[in-house]
Each structure stands twice: as C-alpha cells, then as structure tokens.
Structure 1
Amino acid sequence: MFGTHLRTGSAGTPSTPRQGSSSFHQQLVKTPSDQQQTSSSDSSTTTNAVPTTNLEGINEKNLNDYQQILQILLAAGYFRVRISALTPFDKILGGLCWCISNSYNADADVEMLSYEEEANIGKKIKLSEKVVLALRRMGCPQELSPVQIQGLDCPFILKVFSWLVQKVFESRVENKERIQRYSELQFSRRYELPQDQQDMEQYNQALPYLDSIRGVYHPKRKFKHQQRNVLKSEWGHVQTVLLEYGIEFKKIERSQQEKEDKSKLERQLRAQKQASRTESMDASQLNNQNLAELDLDEEAREKKIQELKKLVEQNENFYNNISASGASNLINLGAVDIIKLKEEYDEKTRDFMGQQENLQSEQMLHKRQVAQLTKQIENQKVIYMKAKEEFNAVKQEYEKVSETLSKFKEYNEQVQNKITELQNQVQNQDVDQAILSKLETLIALNEAFKKQEADFKTNCQLQLQELKNSIAQLESSFNDSNDPIVQLSQAYANDTEKMKKIRKLAAKRNRELAIVQSKIDEIPSRTELSQYERRFTELYAQISTKLDETKKYFVSYNTLSGTCTFLEQELSLLNSIADFFQKAVQSQDKKYKAWMINTVSDRAEKVKQTKTQMDTKLKETEKKRDDLQNKYNELVSKQRNYFRAVKEFQNEMLKNDELNKRLKMMQ
C-alpha cells in the first residue's frame, strides 16, 4: 500500500503537499548539542549528536521520538543518520533495511541490502512494503504499515526500532559465538595446546599397559593334540580341546536305576519334608546351638561321606575285577543262587542309595544352617561395628573431657600456687589489712557478678526457647483451616488467580483489537485516496505523453525507412535503365532493344502497382484518422456535456442549500 507522504518522483513532477502540514517543516531545528558551541581548543573528541538540519515531514510532536530513533540507530552502528543531506524518510527507511538485513533470523529481500537514497518514489514505496512483509515474517509484535513509514509516525516507529535493534544485538551475540566455535574448530584441526599434547602422551604411555591387562584373561593354548582324527566321540573332542587350553574337566556318569524311580521319589519327598521342618526352626534355637556341636556334625558327615566313597570304590573294584572265569562261575551256578545273589546285590544297592540320599539331605540341611549362621554372624558384625563406632565416639569425648579436666587441674594448681605465694608475700610484707580485706570483697563481688551473668544467660536461653515454642504454636494455630485469617488468605489467593485469568483474557482481547485496528489503519481515507488519484492521473499523463512520443518516433522511423527503400529502388531502376540504354545504343541488335523496352515497361508497371498499393494504404490510414477524429470529437462533446451537467448540478445543489436554509429560517 502506498503512503500518504509523496515526494518528487523521477520525472520531476511536484510532490503533493500533505494536509495539515505547517511551515514548521521548512524550519531548521537544532539539537541541544548543536546549540552549545564551545570555544575551547580541546575539541578533538567527537560526540554522538545527530545533525537534524533536514526535518521534512516531522512536526513538533514527533520531534523527540525522531531524535530517539536516530540515537538508537547511532548506538546500534548505523552511522548514515549523521548525514544531514538525507531526509527523515530516507534515514528511517534506510535504518529499517539495515536492521532487518543485520538481524540473524531476518527473511529479507535482497534489495534491502542495496538501499539507494536517490531512488524514485515508486521504488521507495515498494521497498517500504517489503520492509513491512519482512517484519511480519520476523514476528514483530508491532504491526507496522507502509502508510506509517511514509507518514513518519515516529512514536509507533520508535517501538519497532527498539525491537529491531534488540534483534540486531542478539544476532551479533549469536554470530560471535558461532564464529568463535568455528575458529576453535579450525585451530584444533591445525594446532594443539600443551595440555592436549600431555594428555595424548599419557594416553600413549598407558596404552600398552591397557593392552597387557586386556590380554591377561584371554584363553591361551598350551598343548596340541597330534592325532585329532582318532577322536570319535563328541565328549572326547570336548575334553581334548579343554586340556589343550589347560582346563581339566571330569565327566560324571550317572547310573540308570529305572526300577527304583518310585523309591527315589519317596526318599526325595521325605528329605524335602525334613528340610522344611528344619527351615521352620526358630532362629533362637539356631543361635543357641554350640559351634562345637556343629563341628561334631561336620565330622560325622565327613565320616559317612568317606564310608560311602569306600562302598563306591568297592563296587567299582567288584565290577572291574570280574574276569571271564568269574563270569563262567556265575553261569555254572544254579538259578536259585543267582536269584539270591541278585537279591543281595539289590539290597546293598538300595541301602547305598538310601544312605546317599540321606547324606544329600543332611548336606542340604547343613548348608542351610551354615547360611543362617553366616547371616547371623554378619548381622552381629554390623551391630559390633556400630557399637564400636559409638564406643570410639564416647572414647573421643572422654579423652577430650579428660584433657580439659587435666588443663583445669593444672590451672587450679597454678592458681593455688600463686595464691600461696601471694599469701606468703603478704605475710612477709607489712600490708594494710583493710586494703587486703577490701580487695577480697571486690574479688568475691566480681565472682558473684560472673555467676549472675552466667545465670542470666541461661535464663535468657530458656526464655528464648519458650518464645520459639509459643511462636510455633501460634503458627500451627494459624495453619488451621477454620482460622478466619487462613480463610481470608485462601480467598485472596483465589481472587488473585481469577484476576490473573481476567488479565490474560483482557490482554488477548487487546491484541485482537490491535490487529483489527491495524487492519482498519491499512484502509486509506478519502484524503489519501484523493492524493492517490492525483498521483495516478499525473503518472497516467506522463505515461500517455511518453507513449505518444514513442509512437511518433516509431511512425517517423517507419516512414523514413519506407522512403529510403523507395529511393533505393528508384536509384537501382534508373541505374539499370541507364545501363540498358547505353548497351542498346552501342549494340545494333533489334532483339536486344525489344527486350530492353519490355523490361523497362515491366518495371514501370511494377512501380505503378506499388504506387497504387501505397495510395490505398494512405486512404485507409486517412479513413482511420477521420474515424478516430470523429470519435475524439464525440468524446470531447460528451466531456463538455458532462462538465456542463456537473456545473448545473452544483448550481442546483447550491440552490437546494439556500432553499433549505430559508425553510429552516421560516420554521
């Protein structure tokens, strides 16, 4: 949208004066820094005063805001505001473009970076529209319009500049941090600090030690089997591989007793019941067991384990010592003997398995008892450590008290020695007994005062404690929900919360009103529309005159080029006729003369045809010109009628106003 403040354009048309402007626009206003002219020789230091000799479009109300805008721009680093030849519009628009282009998150057009003060009014208006769009994209809280930029609404523009300059400073800080990080990265790529070199050297020195520690626990091969293909079973292959790496592993082969599964299950159930009974024993009974009895139980269990091992070895020896003759003797025995032997063997194996299961249950019971005892021992250790810590603390306190007591005793002895010395001195010397008795009374009085002071301090501490307790009771009574003060505070808190919500709603409505107001401000008024109309008519007049001028140039160029072509054709025709004539005069051939006459006549016919064509074109253009002239005359007559009708309408309106006034006066 175009602004209301229109100045001289590129074609030199006069600017439309702003309504309501005064002669103050042409005055020269000086700042206080310009008015104070010092005559001292120390004038080398320059101040931040901004020259304000050119104040076109600035009234008295906006002068202070305009000065603040210039000071803000100067503080931000835009020093072009010191140029006195620039107008306020150029300074403000240039400052806006500079701030937007120097903001870090600015989404500005490229034209803003190349702002020109000597541009025409059209470019400046377009640039002001782009500035407004860029501010909206940046999220400016103030809705600025091009009309306000053109009209130099300094109070509103000051708010926009304060926000923009803050953005400029923030972008400078971000750029500084980014450049610093980038410089540190580039420095770390090419150079190293002494501390980094020391750290790298320490790491390189510790690296072999770390590798050695990592390699300690790796499996190392010690042996190698020479005939690996001989191994057929998987178990043999596993055992040889483990032996190669120095690990011994024994396989426990379990005997298959399919017939005695039921008896095994019964024994296991008995063992579990016994274990549950032992687990349900009280901790007090376990604690009261004597360690000697536990040792005896362990010795008995070890004896049983040794006996069972002997039985297993006897069994294995029995099976290993069976030879072919023994097998033949068994075969030669009768069926009854074999059955008896089998029954004896079964009984022995049952007894052995029962003993083994009982031993396993006893071992489990023993393990549980040991675990419980170890747990109790750990608990007792913890209790012992706590008691030991308490004993050490008490011991330290006792030592401190004993040290202080010894110091007091030494001090008491010293005092008593001094008293005896003084008494001896008094007895040896002739001292007035009245003065001595007075001194003793004063000393006793001093001691009494000290005691009173100590009692007073203890009494004050007791009173302070009582006051604190009373304050705590009062606070607890205040915290009671039934207390009216608490109810009032709660009501106050609720009211403040409601007030905050109402303020938020009011702020939201104010923002909406501001948005609507800005949209309303964007709609131009009648005066602005009239100025736009005048400017558009001026621009249209300029464009029409320029178009007519260019059309004349085109027409003149076309006519001149046509005449040039015709003259060239005429010249070529005359040259050809002259050549033919000379050849015809020199030659005596009649056929050549006849051919020459025919060609000349043909060319004459062509010239006539072109002449007729040009005549027809001329007539057509003349006809068009006459038609356009008629239309123009009609339009001129319509315009005259329109002006006449408008004038008559104005006269009638004046008559109507007079008649209305007369009617009002008559009434």
Structure 2
Amino acid sequence: MAAFQLQADVRDDEEQQLKFQECLDLLLAAGYFRARIRGLSAFDKLVGGMVWCIEMCSMDVNVDLFYKDELSIGQKIGVTERIIEVLPQMACPHRVEPHQIQGLDCVHIFPVIQWLVKKALENQAETVAYTVGYGEFLFLEWHPELASPRPPPDRCLLRQAEERFRRVERPVAPKSSDAESAAPPEPAEPSLQPGAEAVAAMLGVGEIAQAAKAYEQQTRQLQESGLDADQHGRLLAAEVTDGLSPAALATLEAILTSFQEADAILSEDQAFKEECKAEYTKLQDEISRLQAQAAPADDDPQTEHELARRTAAVDRLRAEVASASRQVALLERQLDDVPSRAEIGQYQKRFVELYNQVSSTHKEAKEYYATNNLLSDTLRYLEKELALLNSVAESYQAASGSAAGRTEFLQQLDSIVLNINNNKKKVLAKKQTEKRAVDVLTEQLDGLRALARNYHAALKQFRSECAANEALTAAERR
C-alpha cells in the first residue's frame, strides 16, 4: 500500500499511454531490452531504463546509482531522487520532478528519456570509434610497413612474384627421353615461401616487377652456367637487393633468414624421420629373429618331453612352496598367540586396575552393610527402651494405690536394671571380641604391606638384572 500512497495524482488518458509507449520504444531502440519483460511494472521499466542510459553515458557524477528488481519501494524512490540530482550535472536541458517519475507522468518524462537515449547513443558511437582507432594504432605498431595505402597489385605481377619466391630445385642430370617418360615424377617438397599478395604488401608492386625480371634473368643464367641452388640464391640476393629501399631490404633479409631456418628445420626433420625408419626396421628384424629363436620345434619329441618334465618339476616345486607357506603361516599364528613381555605388562596393569576397582566397590558395600546393621541395632534398642519406659509408666500408675503394689513395682524395677546390666556386659564382651579381631587383621595388614614392599624391591632388582642381561646379550652378539 505504501507504493500507491507515494504515487502522485496524474491523469490516466490516451496521451499518457502514448508517451509511455514512446518511452519504451526509445529504450528498446537504444538497447534496453528489459523493457520487453511483461512481469515488470511501468515504474521499474522507466526508472531502470533511465539508470541504464546514465550508465551508458559514462558521466563522472558523484552519485551512487544502483538499480535492481529486488529493491524495496523506499530504495527505488531513493534512486529516483538521485536521478534528479544527476540530470543537472549531465547538463540535461529538461527538468523533471521526483513526484512526476513516481506518478509516471510520461508527458514530462519523455523529453528526459529522449535526451538520455540520444546522449547514450552518441557516447556509444564515440566509444566504438575510439576502440577502432586504438585497434588500428596497435595494428600499425606491429606492422608499420602497412601504414601507407597502396593501389591494388597487378595480377600478372603477382604471379611473377609468386614464381620468383618458389623453391629453387637442384639441377638434375639429363636423361634420355625414354627414361624420362618411364620414370614417374617425384613429388615436390612443400613450399614455405609466402604468397604473392603478402610480398606485394611488403615490398610494393613496382619493386615486385623489377625483382621478377631480375629473377628471370638470373634463372636463365643459372640454367646456362649449371650452378647449384645455394650459389644461385646468393647471386639472386645480390641482384635483388640492388634496387630496393632500406625498409624493404630489411624486410627481405628477415624473410630470407626465416626461409633458411625453415629449410634447416625441414632438413633436420627429414633426417630424423630417416633415422627413425632405419631404427624401426632394425627393431623389426630383431623381433623377428627373437621370435624365430623362441618358437619351439613342434615336430621334436625330445623337446616336448623335456618341456613336460620341467613343467612337472615346476608344479611339484610350487606345491612344496605352498605347503611350506602354510606351515610358516601356522607357526606365525602360534607365535602371535604367545603374548610378549609388553603385552604381559599391559595385562598385569589392567588386572591390577580391575582388582583395585573391585576392592573399592567391595569396601564401599561393606561400609554400607555395617552402617545398616548399626542403625538397625540402634533402632531395636530404642524400641526396647521406649517399651520399657511405657511399661514402667503404666505399672507406676497401677502400683501407686497400695503398699503391696509399690513393693512389687520396686522388685520389677530391680529386675529391669539387672537385665540392662547383663545386656551391657554382653555388649562390652562383643566389643572386646571385635577389637581383638581388628587387632589381628591390623597385624595381618602390616605383614602384607611388608610383603608388598619386599615384592616391589625384588621386582625392581629383577628388572635391573634383566636389563643388564639384555645389554650383555647384545654385546655378545656384536
């Protein structure tokens, strides 16, 4: 609802619809194809198109213009306000207010969009021209010889230049006409010379014509004199370089150097191929010889008998090895079943820990039993005392009325006191018995502690002796 509250009151008539469609057409013509998306609102299309045009203009403005579909309505309105700030900095002759953009007043928005689209297209054309010019500049940096324009070369001269730069074949001894007709022509080696068009671009058409004439003369001289290809190349280079400019001469020298390097590479490649073929033939012959030696004679019964005997011996040895392997595995398992000294030490340590844990648990249980027995005896004595006091109180009320009753009451009290004394003597006797048992157990504990001390001392001495024994054994082995 906030979006509708922020929009201004603008009439919705045919003129507004027409201007809105013209705005979209302008944006589409400029390259803003998001205006075709039907899911976007009219506000998103117009504001997004204006932001896109401002970005295409590459204007240096101190305003953050960032627009996307996920912006909230407050952020979109903030973008609208920043657009209004950018337009005066771009020297836009038209003015538009934020409420007009928010209310989609296309009558006032159309001139602004028209000016922005025009500015964006102009900036795009300038960018293209600058990029193309920079590309040409870099191209001429790498190829300065193509800087000045030249007229198109003559086809006849191009053919002569192409013939001039073909590979010069070595002279062949003359043969009879029958031999020439019978022998097939050898395939020519691949030419590494440039085409006529590349040479024409490097040297110029007029210079190519002069070089072609000089080449024809030198070719006739070569055929008459019987020189080889290298001598002919040196003579040709001397003749051709006389009428060339310094730039063309440097280019020609670089081309000839490249040709020489290419010829050397081809020669090395051909020699390597011949060497590989010879090595391959040699290896094939060796393989055939070894296969012939390794092939058994099928028609030799003695060889077959020897082969069968050795095969049986191999099978027998394999069976023996398998049996020995099983015995070794059995002995290894038996050795693994015997614990080592370290494992015995670990077992002893774990048994001691388990014994201590069981002993502590047993001691705690005995304490709980003793506490329970003590509390049970205390409860029993308290119950007896309470019953005795209750009986005394009841007897006193009954015996207070007569002298015989009082006498009988006193006799009962005497008997009660006598029983209490007897019970006390029994408890004291039991206490003495328990004390003597405690003393006996204490003496046994002291004896066991002394025995444990002696055991630890003997164990320490035994370990030291074992270490000395191991040291002496190692010294003897050395």
With structure 2 as the length reference, what TM-score do the two structures score?
0.32
With structure 1 as the length reference, what TM-score do the two structures score?
0.24
